[in-house]
Structure 1
Amino acid sequence: MTMTITCFIVEDELQHGKIIAESIEDFSTTNSAITFQPKIISEFIHFYENLNDFVFADKDIFIIDIHLNTYFSGIELAKKIRALNQKVPIIFLTNDEHSGIQVINAQISPLGYVVKHILPNIIFKEELFSLLEQIRSQLLVNLNSGELLVFRSGNRQIIIYPEEIFYIATIKGVRGKVLIKTQKSEITCTEQLHQIKKKVSHTHLFTELKSYIINLAHIKSFSRLEGIILFDHGQELYVGTKIIDKISKKLK
């Protein structure tokens, strides 16, 4: 089974960001089931100003330097992220061990802090690894409790949060495969739709359609005239008028 967690790094010192990314890669090698993929946000001003257009999942992680050398702080960035998503883990980087009170007052609820040290290392790997291990352990608990879905894709098993799914659809002309569209990717799953419906119990996943499973929570709007569903982040799906009517009835 595999699950990839993206770790977004917001750090104004490029070298610091690279060291953090390398540390995350080192940690990721300790377990093949849940991997951590670092991604440095180099244009963090653009990121801050266009955060609403940025796609990330509940399981992703933000690692943010509190003291960004720009017109906003890491705390202000974290507040914007938290306003969009209450679940995504936030880890703060700081060279000030007393920065926590500012974060508490901002009601951000971070997972924790990693204190940067100039010598001998920029960060203590142990501090970062401990926080990442907390996240990985919780994901494994969620998996064992059935809060995560496992899909077969060839010889791999893919782990997905139900909340990440926009829709699951049969592939026209192809038997034994379905397309899973999530917030961040498209996955071809080597299972039949009726098999998937049996293991899906999430309240927002509508399973009463012949060729689709639709996440009602991600629907922004739909057009009966065009037969199109519009999901978050501009994703569209053509389903036809009859299915639009069924979804409309379900949403009432």
Structure 2
Amino acid sequence: MIHIYLCEDDNRQLTRWKNTVEKYLLMNSTESQLYCAASSPAELLSIRKKSTVIGLYFLDIDLQSDKNGIELAQEIRKYDPRGYIVFVTTHSEMAVLTFRYKVEAMDFIVKDEIKTLPDRICDCIKNAENNYKTQLNASNRLLSVKVDKTSLIFDQDDIVAITTCEENHKIMIHTKNGVRQMAGSLKELNAILNSTFFQCSRSVIVNLRHVLKYSKEDAVLTMDNKETYNVSIRMMGKLQKALKQI
């Protein structure tokens, strides 16, 4: 998952960016989210500090604030060293400063080019998602689930649990950000999940990294998103061994 942040002091421009991003997210199968549309650096940083998810940042440079966009990018790097930063500005001559300040910008978009601006924003989202997918794959965290004619990409570390659904051949993928229902089976997913996952019953697979508490007496797992799952009797011994290895 990628959280998308926007920072632009002109409300009309900010609305255009926001509409472009929302349209992209609506038209594409993705777990990315528009997480913040701010008019000031302070507002964006306040929201950024509450998240642990990698971000994609579209920043104006001239923000009419105590920080310009490049200085804001420097602050962002303290919280999100691997995030993707894109500058959108009328000041094309300032592109060289992004290298001097070592903020590792992903792209530099001139906002005066109104006709191409939406496509450039969408291209940046696509590129960020592709790079993110490559990183997950390299670290054995990628989970690609087919949805209709496309694939939905999950970071396995973000998944709290996977459960069966009342509908046949449907599963529910639970993350801290919500639940997604899709076609599939626990057996199919269990074969491709990494070693942090454990099937605690016929209807539930949990990510052991998200276990907050295990009550042996009640045979119940409490997850860090406050959900609870029962553990079948035959899996209790295996679960205790698996928890010791995490």
Same fold (TM over 0.5): yes
TM-score w.r.t. the length of structure 2 is 0.68
Gap runs ≥5 in structure 2: none
Q: What's the RMSD between the two structures over aligned residues?
A: 4.3
Q: Aligned-pair distance for 1:48?
A: 1.9
Alignment correspondent of 1:67:
62
Contact residue 24 and residue 37 of structure 1 kept, 8 A? no
In 2, distance between residues paired with 1:189 and 1:127? 31
Give 1:197 shift.
Answer: 1.0
Cα gap change, 1:101/1:84 in structure 2, threshold over 3 Å: closer, same or farther?
Answer: same
Match of 1:185 among 174, 178, 188: 178
- 1:161/1:82 Cα in 2 relative to 1: closer, same or farther (>3 Å)? farther
Q: 1:41 corresponds to which residue?
A: 37
TM-score, length basis structure 1:
0.66
Is the contact made by 1:228 and 1:240 (CA closer than 8 Å) also made in structure 2? no
Query: Does 2:104 correspond to 1:82?
Result: no
- Counterparts of 1:160-171 in structure 2 under 5 Å? 160-163=153-156, 165-171=158-164
Secondary structure in structure 1 of the residue aligned to 2:227: strand
* 8 A Cα contact 1:21 1:40, kept in partner: no
* Offset from partner CA, 1:118-173 (integer Å, 9 cap, x none): xx7497556545545544665787899997433356x5755123246322332486
Give the residue type in structure 1 aligned to 2:79: L
Q: What runs of 5+ residues in structure 1 fail to find an aligned partner?
A: none
Distance 1:107 1:185, change over 3 A: farther
Q: Deviations over 1:164-222 (max 9, x none)?
A: 6322332486664332123433112332211111122x46x424544213162xx4x72
- Sequence identity of aligned pairs in percent? 14
Residues 29, 150 of structure 2: 8 Å contact kept: no
Q: Say which SS state the counterpart of residue 181 (structure 2) adopts.
A: strand
Structure 1 residues 4-19: aligned runs within 5 Å = 7-19=4-16
Shift of 1:250: 1.9
**Which of 183, 194, 210 is 2:187 aligned to?**
194
Deviations 1:2-26 (A, max 9, x none): xx97643211111112233455567
Distance 1:166 1:35 in 2: 12
The total of aligned residue pairs comes to: 233
* Alignment check: 8 A CA contact 1:55 1:183 kept: no
SS of structure 1 residue aligned to 2:66: coil
Q: Map residues 1-252 of structure 1 onto 2, 5 A cutoff.
A: 7-24=4-21, 32=28, 41-42=37-38, 44=40, 45-54=42-51, 56=53, 58=54, 61-117=56-112, 121=114, 124=117, 127-128=120-121, 131-132=124-125, 134-135=127-128, 138=131, 148-152=142-146, 158-163=151-156, 165-171=158-164, 176-200=169-193, 202=194, 205-207=196-198, 209-210=200-201, 211-214=204-207, 216=209, 219=210, 222-224=212-214, 227-230=221-224, 235-239=225-229, 242=236, 245-251=240-246
